[in-house]
Each structure stands twice: as structure tokens, then as C-alpha cells.
Amino acid sequence: MNFVNKIRTSLPWRSALLLLLWLAVWALGLLVEYAPHASVWFPVAGLTCAAMLVAGVRAIPAILIAAVVITFWTALQYDIDMSSRQLTEAGLLFGFAHIFPYYLGAVTLRKLSTVSQYNLPLFVVSFLVLAVCCSLLATVTVLTSLVVTGLMPAADIATTWLPFWIGDMAGVVVIAPLFASILLNVFPQTKFDLHKVIGSHSKLASGQFKYKLGLTLLMLIFAMLIAWYSGSSESAFAIFFLVIPHMWIACTETPFITVLSLALSSFLIALLVNLLGLMDHVMVYQFAINVIAANALFGLTVPALMTANSQLRLVVSTDSLTNVASREHVQQRAKQEIARSQLQGQPLCMMVFDIDHFKKINDQLGHSIGDLVLQLACQAAQQMLRPTDVIGRYGGDEFVVVLPDTEQDVVVTIGQRIITRLSQIELTNNMPVSASFGVAVLSADDSFHSLFERADRALYRAKQQGRSQVACQESTGHFS
């Protein structure tokens, strides 16, 4: 625990940890390198992107040192005859060329995150667009630095730039979200809080995840064995079937588990390309990693979009002041209940009510008290209604209640009980609170509008007769 606290509170310790992590991830990418400066994926690009996003400039020294270290390693590996000073300068130039594009992308993404209503779908789109652009810029800057420092012949650029770009992009798309989530626990006062965009989710997998991951890995191995056995270029495209299980994982697991499964699949693809000698199809697998990862990241937005749609439907269907149904929603529900009752020959009543002397309440006590009266009136009504009944605000202080499978005498009793409950509300100046109710019974040829008009006429009669009462407007041919 002391060691963990030391890392979190000490910048040198955090930098040392990032340095070791960067070198370890680079070595992991080296295992799947199929040509000089070209790998199926380049995972340190994702780590650098995540570090720039979470830690910002604080991460630059560690990555620069790591860049110098791997430059010396590369010189030994390819027997490059350069002095220590030249290698150090080359390493620093490579480091800056590697860091700058991802720093630029991280700054852009942080700027976008400050925009109002920035959410997970917008984050995924902007992240993927920046991953494409930043990895392409990194390809240009890094290859230029390698040529300038003599670490790579200029003639190799023509055959290297595309796999270099796609490999870097795969590293960013797959690894950056995973390492951003991890680095949030290492760097306090982060430049970018990923949890604010994707929400706070558990990092634990569901009980079914092992089966999902097992199926994914089996499909992966099987697809690559087919490509190895057949030797045809077409068979390599079987790897794209991994879109299906990874979308399944994205829609049913947490974001952390989703990106972790992507990292495992991507590493296994890169490893099997080397082990099975599938270098002739390497571009197919590079593009597959990017497509599968991008598709899974879009899959993460499905639950968020469903939640947003549910919230939007709630906003549209609910009156913001009283929390009863909106005018549009109560009309829609009423039409459905009317059609069902007429089809099945069952009774239905509509009750329309409004607050007596509501303008007087607003004028003498203020609109805030008027709003409170409306809220209390709706609460009183809801306490008397069943879950199958529908109450909605039709406009101003007028409300509509639809009561399916209910006879008129029951509705009248409900209205009288609401009147009793309203009379118990105490306002300043001892001003009474009451409401008038009009009730209409559904007939065989009624529509919503004709039923509402009759209930509204009954309400008008209740007001003419002295208010604070229930009046009925029956019609011939109503259901019994």
C-alpha cells in the first residue's frame, strides 16, 4: 500500500512506472514485428496516446527516455554504426516525432470534451477520427525522423508507410482506451477523466464473460487456421467474423472488459500472424483489428443511446411541472384505451378537471404557489387512481384522466375523494383549494375528441352549479 501511495503522490515514481510500462509494451509489439519498423500493430502508440490524454506533458520525459532506450536497442538489433551521441539525438528526435501527433490529438479530444452535452457516442466518433488522423501524422513525422537520422533508408518509405500507419492506428484504437482507464488510477488530477464520458462502471466481468471470451478466441484461432491451411488470400477475411462476438461483448459487458477483450484478441491475431507465417495476408489482419475494434467501440454506445432514448421518451411523455403525462402522451394513451375498450366491449370513462379560481391563486399568492397547487392536486389524484389509469396535464390547470374498465359511479366517487383531499390543502390567507370535475362515459361510436368534448361540457356544468363537485355527461349506447 505504501508503494502504491508513493507512486500516486510522487511524479518521479509515476514517471519511472510509465517508462517501464512503455518499454514493456514496446517489447510486446516487437514480438509481432514482421518487418523492420512494421508490425501488425504498434501498442505503444496507444499507450502514448493514453498518457498524453490522461497525464499531458507530465508523461513526456518518461516517453522521451524510453524513445532513446529503444533507439539504442534498434541500433544493436540492425547493426547500425552510429555514435552514442548520434543515437541519443536520433532517439530524442524520434521521441518528439512520436509524441507530438498524439499530444495534439489529446489536446483536441480534451477540448471537445468541454463542449456541452458531450457524451459517449460523440466521444467514440471523435476518438476514432483523431486516431486515424494522429496515427497518419505520426507516420509522417516518425518516418521523416528515421530518415533524417539515418536509421532508415529513404527508399523504404514507399513500402513502409501504409503498414506503419495501420499498425499505429490499431495500437491507438485498441490500446489507448484500456491504458487511459489504467492510468487514471496512477496520475491524480488527470487532464481528462474518461469516467465522466463513459460513466463509472465496474471493471469486473459478468459471470458469462468467460464463455463469450472463449467463443471469441476459438473463432479467432479457427479463422486463422483456415487461412494457414488453405493458403488463399480470400480465407484471411474470415477473421472479420470476430465482429459478431466482440459486438456481443460490447453490448453486454462494461467498457473496461470490452477494451480488455479487444486487446487480447488483437495481440493473439498479431502473434498468430507470425507463428503461422501469414505475412502475405498481414494487411488484411491489420485492417481487421481496426474494424473489429472500431465496431466494438461503437457497440459501447448502444446501451448509452438506449438510455438516452428512454430519457428522451420520458421527457416527451411527462409534464415537467407535475410529473403526470404530457398532453400528447395522454392523448395517445387515451386513443389506445378507447380502441381497446370499443373492441372488447368494456366500459371506459374520461374525467376532466381543473382547479377552481386558479387565476385568483396565481394573482394573490404568486405563480410559485400556483405551481405547488397543481403539483399537490396531481399527487392527490394519483393516490386515488390505479396503475392502469392515465392522468395527464391537458393545458394550464386542466387535467384529463382516462379510467378503463371503470363504471361511471366509481369515477364519480373517485372525483369526490379527490375534492375531499384538495380541501385539506392549507394555503396562506386561508384561501381554499378545490376542483371541478366532468365525467363522460365511452359510447360505441366515440373518438377521443368526442369523448373529451362531452367530459369538458360536464366540467362546465359543474362550474355553473357552484364548483367543487362532479358532474356527468352520459351518452346513449355506452357500454354496460
Element (H, E) at 155: none
Q: Between 277 and 6, whose confidence is greater? A: 277
Domain topology for 327-473: Alpha-Beta Plaits (3.30.70)
25-49 pLDDT per residue, tens: 988 877 766 666 566 778 999 999 9
Q: How far apart are CA 190 and CA 181, in angstroms?
A: 11
366-379 pLDDT per residue, tens: 999 999 999 999 99
Exposed, middle or buried, 309 (CB in 10 Å: 0-12/13-18/19+)? exposed
Residue 6 has pLDDT above 90, yes or no: no
Which of 469, 357, 360 is CA-nearest to residue 418? 469
β-strands 470-473, 435-441 pairing: parallel
Residue 382 has pLDDT above 90, yes or no: yes
Overall residue count recorded for the chain in this entry: 480
pLDDT-derived band at 135 (thresholds 50, 70, 90) equals: very high
- Average pLDDT on 41-64 reads 92
Which of 299-303, 414-418, 455-459 is predicted least confidently? 299-303
Tell me the average pLDDT of the chain: 88
Q: How far apart are CA 285 and CA 237, in angstroms?
A: 8
Residue 125 has pLDDT above 80, yes or no: yes
Domain 1-197 has CATH 1.10.1760: yes
Residue 439 has pLDDT above 90, yes or no: yes
**φ/ψ of residue 475, rounded to 5:** -135, 160
395-412 pLDDT per residue, tens: 999 999 999 999 999 999
Q: Between 132 and 190, whose confidence is greater? A: 132
Exposed, middle or buried, 138 (CB in 10 Å: 0-12/13-18/19+)? buried
Q: How far apart are CA 350 and CA 391, in angstroms?
A: 10
Exposed, middle or buried, 180 (CB in 10 Å: 0-12/13-18/19+)? buried
Which of 28, 41, 47 is CA-nearest to residue 176? 47
Residue 188 has pLDDT above 80, yes or no: no
pLDDT-derived band at 479 (thresholds 50, 70, 90) equals: very low
Which of 462, 283, 477, 457 is CA-nearest to residue 355? 462
Please give the pLDDT value at position 36. Answer: 60
pLDDT-derived band at 71 (thresholds 50, 70, 90) equals: very high
Which of 145-154, 193-202, 339-348, 460-469 is predicted least confidently? 193-202
Please give the pLDDT value at position 74. Answer: 84
Longest dimension (CA), the chain: 107
Please give the pLDDT value at position 219. Answer: 96
Please give the pLDDT value at position 204. Answer: 80
What's the whole-model pTM score?
A: 0.67
- Domain positions in the chain: 1-197, 201-317, 327-473
81-120 pLDDT per residue, tens: 889 999 999 999 999 999 999 999 999 998 888 876 667 7
253-294 pLDDT per residue, tens: 888 899 999 999 999 998 899 889 898 898 899 999 999 999
Residue 18 has pLDDT above 80, yes or no: yes
Residue 327's identity, in one-letter code, is: R
Percentage of the chain beyond pLDDT 70 is: 89
- Average pLDDT on 445-472 reads 95
Residues 6+ apart with CB under 8 A from 86: 149, 150
